[in-house]
Structure 1
């Protein structure tokens, strides 16, 4: 038993075995082991005549399972998250309040692209030096009710087990059982409060986590080289490419097919009177075109505060929560960038850039059409689009 305890403690192959089979000493290397071999398991023999087994007086058979634990099927993923506390948000607002935006904007003149890059980099600099961040590790076998305190107790239990301190091990085990019951009850209460408060988002997230619906292992990972990415990009932009293609001189219907004219005749003159006519007040059009369209500070502030905090960031890496928390401090410089872009009739390249994420429509995609493009754009560009859209709607009323 001492030898078995030593092998289990020191050798990983013995410690992770599913079954230990002890036989009589007559089991030799030349005797087949088909009697004790199991389907789906790896058989390891330790005969007494072998040097590896220490020439012991018994034979040890170790069976290793083919099944791989969940924690080993997928490596843990580390993700850096920002800790948005009220104190950090207040410090970030103070940082933007004391910023002299004229010093950043005046050197660029009418170069809207360099202006956008300069302001974006400065915002990133302020966020990195103000808002704390930490790296969170997500393990595939994590339960939704497991907290960091519970993980610390599990590590403490492992240390007590390795040190063979039975009193400490019993104490940690009692504390661990109590905290497991408390964490489960707390998670249950959280789900019940979400249903009572009609918080469907949190309830649905908890149900998906418990049932395992929508896990990353169930969705096929998109893997491909640069050529495949370019081909997928061309497929997603096939309509834009056809629209922006240079127009060519189209042949007449008679040149395409002699009988095409008989099938597609011109609209008779008597039917043209049935078409609706649109009358445009030319004075209204001239007055609207003569007045340049400029945004106001209240419009920009209102749109920034309406930004949803849970939306994914675009290529500029400016989070929606940042725009929402610091709308009063950033609305002035954002207004200047919006009006400069509208006056120059040019959209900055950073705002036009989009990050397209291909999401499989089915479990096993085989064609390019089996992927759905999810486009991530800049939140500042979305705010500007909403303001311009509301202005265009008011102008279309006069038509």
Structure 2
């Protein structure tokens, strides 16, 4: 099964090689890279005038690239109320890249998941019965309005996982309103 999935992935995805140097600066742009290549070719050709012009163009392009990069970084810190934008700036400055999530190479995982979810499909022969709570027990009372108000206060960007996203919250509101009616 996993080898078939791997084959499908290989058939459907496009692999692209991107070469980066370990000391590549964050302000490096395609224009600067092209001018670096032009400077090297002018140097190898031995043309002093072309080399001088290449150096001038390269210096100007580096200044512009550094200025643009600096403005982009400063833009992350302009508004004090947008903490998400600020953290993106810090990640850009530190060149932080989160590690990709680890994938278990255990081939029995699909079978384990299948058997786990299959237990919910088993026939349930026990009839449901309603129990009446005693006076000392607290009964949980939910209204659609209270649930909707509570779930709308959840910030989907700060949620613990995908099940707490705004779309899931809206779905929970719809489900709860159907159950309560």
Q: Is the 8 A contact 1:191 1:202 kept in 2?
A: no
Q: Is the 8 A contact 2:77 2:89 kept in 1?
A: no
Q: Is the 8 A contact 2:73 2:89 kept in 1?
A: yes
Query: For residues 207 and 246 of structure 1, what CA distance do their matches in structure 2 show?
Result: 51
2:35 aligned counterpart, secondary structure:
helix
Q: Is the 8 A contact 1:191 1:203 kept in 2?
A: no
- Counterpart position of 2:55: 173
Residue 187 of structure 1 pairs with residue 64 of structure 2: no
Q: TM-score, normalised by structure 1?
A: 0.27
* Aligned counterpart in structure 2 of residue 214 of structure 1, from 97, 109, 124: 97
RMSD: 4.4
Measured against aligned partners, the alpha-carbon deviations of 1:194-227 in whole angstroms (never above 9, x if no partner) come to 2113454444334324324336xxx488577xxx
Query: For residues 38 and 180 of structure 2, what CA distance do their matches in structure 1 show?
Result: 70
* Aligned counterpart in structure 2 of residue 392 of structure 1, from 164, 175, 178: 175
Q: Is the 8 A contact 2:27 2:65 kept in 1?
A: yes
Q: Is the 8 A contact 2:76 2:88 kept in 1?
A: no
Cα offset for 1:140? 4.9
5+ residue gaps in structure 1?
A: 1-76, 80-136, 250-270, 279-307, 309-373, 376-381
Q: Is the 8 A contact 1:78 1:138 kept in 2?
A: no
Residue 150 of structure 1 pairs with residue 32 of structure 2: yes
5+ residue gaps in structure 2?
A: 1-14, 126-132, 141-155
The structure number with the bigger radius of gyration is: 1
- Counterpart position of 2:120: 244
Q: Which has more strand, going by share of residues?
A: 1
Cα offset for 1:392? 2.6
Residue 78 of structure 1 pairs with residue 6 of structure 2: no
Residue 139 of structure 1 pairs with residue 20 of structure 2: yes
- Counterpart position of 1:319: none
Query: For residues 138 and 205 of structure 1, what CA distance do their matches in structure 2 show?
Result: 24
